[in-house]
Amino acid sequence: MLIHRYISQTDWLLGGVMFLLCAVLTVLQYRWTGEIARAEMSRRSGNLVTGAQAIATAFDAELSAACDQLSPDRTEFTSASREAAHLARYLEWRTQNPRPIFRRIALAESIDNQVQLLLLDPESARFNRTNWPPEWSFMETSITQRARGGAPPAADRRGVLLEFPVFAGGGRPGRSGEHWVILELDSEFLRTQWLPELVATHLDPGEPAVVDVRVSTDGPSPVAVHSSNPQLTERPREGVVSVRFNALGKTARRSDMPRRTSGVWTLEVWPRPGVLESVVARSRQRNLAVAFGISVLMLLTGFALVHHTRRSRRLAEQQMRFVANVSHELRTPLTVIRGAAHNLRRGVVQGPGQIEQYAGLITRHAEQLGEMVEQVLLLSGPARKPADVSRSPVAVETLLNEAVAATAQDAQDARCEVRTKIPAGLPPVAGDAGSLRRVFQNLLTNAAKHGGKGGWIEIAASAVEERGLPRVEITVTDGGPGIPPQELTEIFQPFFRGAAAQAAQIRGSGLGLALVREIVESHGGTVSARNVSGGDTGAVFTVRLPAWSAGNSQ
């Protein structure tokens, strides 16, 4: 008993240690997720510079490559006219790059110190002479002056108008054969697709957006080209990353295309207030929830393991007690049989009366041995399974009277009276007569052994209904001390024996009531136990079995 108590305390101690371990792991996980969150915020802040530079580089590279593809070199003018060479370049570029990054494409050519404009019609793929658009007037003035050899290249403050001089046949600026390629960026495509795609690729790929991005022109009066948050009017004073880009396509390495060392646009990037913290906080909460769930699962697993271990230990203890009880139950009748046989063999017993007495003693104890073996076989064998029960109508009065007659010696040994209350006209029950007889023999024997001190046992039967179905209810009541309340839920378990029975050394193997439950349930019935009127004296065992009907047959 002390060992069992020590083991039980050890189990609970292990459970407590596991609970504390899970709690410590959860707290540590919370702290670790906080450190990860701070590292994530630092990493994202550091990525702003890298991402902004990547956007500028990608934009300039794509724009420069497009400008280079649309500008023929000198060798292409030897075998084709000016317009044909440019058209060939345009058609090739259009098949390779379907993105509509340019709104208009034009050529400006100098003829007799006059600059004329040829605008490309994308549908007909032809250059048509046209007047200079008003918004290109500064470009017309600059190119006219340059054709006369007098002015530097013009720069568009908006950063959407690009021009490149082309010298067909090896000409020089100011000479016949000089012309210019003019490209106008599509502002709508730039604002709604191109720049947002670059931002999503290199800077802010997720939802919600954790940074604000603004692109504006350079100079004293900047003009917004793109803004990820158009309602935002002011940027913060700290934490802003600025990068200049858009060199107007003049980053090509061809010797006849001048280069720019800086851009005309400024890219500004800064974290949205609170958004990054909110994203990181949600990530932290999600990680914490997962960690808490894992800890709870570990805790439940640990307690389930402790519970299973304790249950397995109790089962092992019950099995050991069963072996001890069965050994004791076998030893007693074997001792009596061996002693009686020894006396008969040596002639100690003489006379027909004594021989008859000893023969009855041997027979009774041999039947006890057979009954015990039969119970073990029935409880462990396939005969207790519902599928193997043969069903036929069994008369209740006959069944109970046979059980009373079979247990008459047990009642006589316990010095108690057996009363029967079996009304006539009860419907038969459906089942196997031999198995059901064993049920009530076990209940009567159990009542005689444990409740016989009260001087009486009563077995009664009545017809009832349960959920609209006809049933027969049989009760076995004794006038003994009753069953301790804490044992009422355990008495139908295999190998279980009550504390009072063990203390009084009442014979038994702990299999009788378990066998009763197995047989009754295999017949589709129920069995329960309680004390008389809910008190502490007298035990009542109630068995309910289905009444016989045509549907019960097999």
d(Cα 212, Cα 224) in Å, to the nearest integer? Answer: 14
Which pLDDT does position 499 carry in this prediction? 56
99: containing domain: 1-273
Q: Looking at the domain assignment, is residue 325 inside a domain?
A: no
Q: What are phi and psi of 97, to 5 degrees?
A: -135, 90
Which pLDDT does position 537 carry in this prediction? 67
Other Cβ atoms less than 10 A from the Cβ of 374: the count is 13
Q: 3-class SS at 173? A: coil
- Domain stop point among 246, 273, 300: 273
CATH of the domain at 440: 3.30.565.10
- Domain stop point among 273, 288, 304: 273
**Average predicted confidence (pLDDT) for the chain:** 77
Which pLDDT does position 387 carry in this prediction? 41
- Name the domain count of the chain: 2
248 vs 148, which has greater pLDDT?
Answer: 248
Q: Looking at the domain assignment, is residue 517 inside a domain?
A: yes
Q: Looking at the domain assignment, is residue 324 inside a domain?
A: no
Q: Using the predicted structure, report yes or no on whether residue 180 has a pLDDT greater than 70.
A: yes
Nearest to 501 by CA among 527, 482, 478: 482
Average pLDDT over residues 149-159: 71
Q: Using the predicted structure, report yes or no on whether residue 359 has a pLDDT greater than 90.
A: no
Give the full edge-to-edge strand order of the sheet including 161-167: 126-130, 114-121, 102-111, 178-185, 161-167
pTM: 0.49
Q: Looking at the domain assignment, is residue 286 inside a domain?
A: no
Q: Looking at the domain assignment, is residue 305 inside a domain?
A: no
pLDDT tens digits for 420-444? Answer: 898 988 999 988 888 888 889 888 8
pLDDT tens digits for 264-284? Answer: 899 998 887 776 667 667 777
What is the pLDDT confidence band of residue 252, given thresholds at 50, 70 and 90? very low
Percentage of residues in the chain with pLDDT exceeding 70?
A: 74
Average pLDDT over residues 499-506: 56
Which pLDDT does position 194 carry in this prediction? 93
Q: Looking at the domain assignment, is residue 378 inside a domain?
A: no
Rounded to 5°, the CA angle 105-84-96 comes to 60
User: Is there a single domain that holds both residue 394 and residue 263?
Assistant: no
